[in-house]
Amino acid sequence: MVNIRDAVEGDISAIVRLLADDALGATREDPSDPPAQSYIDAFNALTAQGGNTVLVATDGDTIIGCLQLTFIPGLSHKGMLRAQIEAVRVADSYRGRKIGEALVHKALARARDAGCGMAQLTTDRTRADAHRFYERLGFTTSHVGMKLKF
């Protein structure tokens, strides 16, 4: 059984290593240890802003997976709270053991408990395996995800 808990500041380096250990993430993260100040600032900002948490999956003391869960209040759908999942990663050596599934199930349970009416996420169009993974968990590819980098 995988253990899942809320991340704390001391987990940042391990989480960043997970984010960097990825075809897309390798070029855009800085896995130095201790972590760059920008990661610490971001973790403090997401903790300070309501409705955000990072979940980590652990095997003993080792962090083997992570995701970010954000609750977004909004007026549409009769004032429905929605849950958004970002930055889902599982350590390479732990793939195929349903760690990602356990993380997403935990996030969905948290979302339901908080009264969310929907969960949403976007995945890069090139991540075909990710699309199949989320479809198996009940997500439907109903939208296109558009990004504008500054």
Residue closer to its own copies by CB (options 6, 118) is: 118
Q: How far is the CB of 103 from its own copies (least distance, A)?
A: 14
Distance CA 144, CA 127 (A): 14
Q: Which residues bind its own copies (CB under 8 A)?
A: 12, 15-16, 19, 25, 28-30, 36, 38-43, 45-46, 48-52, 54, 68, 70-81, 84, 86-87, 108, 111-112, 116-125, 131, 134-135, 137-150
Could you say which DSSP state residue 35 is in? P
Q: Which two tokens stand for residue 121?
A: 């996420």
Q: How far is the CB of 35 from its own copies (least distance, A)?
A: 9
Report the 10 Å Cβ neighbour count for 127.
14
Q: How far is the CB of 126 from its own copies (least distance, A)?
A: 9
Dihedral sign, Cα of residue 78, residue 72, residue 146, residue 148: positive
